[in-house]
Every structure is written in structure tokens, then in C-alpha cells.
Amino acid sequence: MEPTEINLRALKEMRLKRHWSQEQLAEMSGLSIRTIQRIESGENAGFESLKSLAAVFEIVLVDSDKEEERIQIREEETYIQNIKGFYKLLAIAILSLIAPVILAINDASNWGVFFWLLLSWIVIIGIYTLNVFDFFGEEWKQKLIQKKFKKD
């Protein structure tokens, strides 16, 4: 059986779902009945106690606050990487346009090439921006629905 990930704060529901008494769970986990009662009532438990219970229920320990914090950090890091990628792409575009603009200034017949390159970079940067920054994501969708149907 593959271990599942669950918050141990739901200990009582997991125990009742299996039709176990507190005494049975205490015996299987090697903990006292009082420890089981304390955890079920929401009091803190030691890490070793939680590990014993996780083994009995074949689950992975999860601290919901820490998990939310990890998700938030991951989203922040992704956003920063996207910003860095945008600036790198912008820098490459600017650097790649220096030579064509110098050539165009020296020879007017090169302005067409410069403008085509400029237009190409604008399209590439625009596509990158729309894909990475998700301007039309879930938040935009919810605002549009609320505006159209006057939902609060």
C-alpha cells in the first residue's frame, strides 16, 4: 500500500474510519492512551509520537503551516526566476539590435532590416511575457465573472 500524505490533526477521523478504539491505536503505535487523547484533542505531540502514528496509518507527516509556507516560497522563487528571464531576454534583444541600428545610421537602406528585427523582438518578448506572467489567469477570470454577473 502506497503511503498517503495527510495532516495528523485528523487523527480521530482516521482512527474512526478504521473502526479502531483509542486503546487499539495506543497498542499498535506503542503510545499511551493519554497521548492519543491529547493529540486527538488538538494538543501538541512530540515528533516521535507523530512518527509512530504515521507508521501505523501508513502516512507521511505533514505540517500544514509549513507546507503552505513551502508552496509560497516556491511560487515566489518561480516569480523571481520569471522576472530574471524577462530582463535577460530584454538585454539580449537590446544587445542584438545595437549592430543593426549602427548599420542603419551609416546606410539608410538598412533601416528596413533594423525594423524587422525590432518587430521580431517585440513579438518574442510579448509572447514570453504573456506566457510567463499569466495576465489572463484565474484572478483575471474571477474578476471578469464578478463584473459580468455582479457576484460578490
| pLDDT tens track for 61-70 | 665 566 777 7
Which carries the bigger pLDDT value, residue 17 or residue 60? 17
DSSP state, residue 19: T
- Per-residue pLDDT of 38-59, as tens digits, reads 888 878 778 888 888 888 888 8
Give the per-residue pLDDT at 64.
55
Cβ proximity of 58 and 4 under 8 Å: yes
**pLDDT over 80 (residue 1):** no
Task: Supply 91's cell numbers.
Answer: 538585454
Rounded mean pLDDT of 94-120? 94
Give the per-residue pLDDT at 47.
80
Rounded mean pLDDT of 62-84? 81
For residues 120-148, b (16+ Cβ closer than 10 Å) or e, as one string? ebeeeeeeeeeebeeeeeeeeeeeeeeee
Residue listed under C-alpha cell 513579438: 123
> Which amino acid is located at 92 in the chain?
I
Which carries the bigger pLDDT value, residue 65 or residue 138? 138
Give the per-residue pLDDT at 2.
47
Task: Supply 144's cell numbers.
Answer: 471578469
Cβ proximity of 17 and 73 under 8 Å: no
- Indicate the pLDDT class of residue 106, thresholds 50, 70 and 90: very high
- Give the CA diameter of the chain: 90
Lowest-confidence pick of 5-14, 98-107, 114-123? 5-14
pTM score, whole prediction: 0.50
User: Nearest to residue 133, comparing CAs of 96, 80, 61, 82?
Assistant: 82
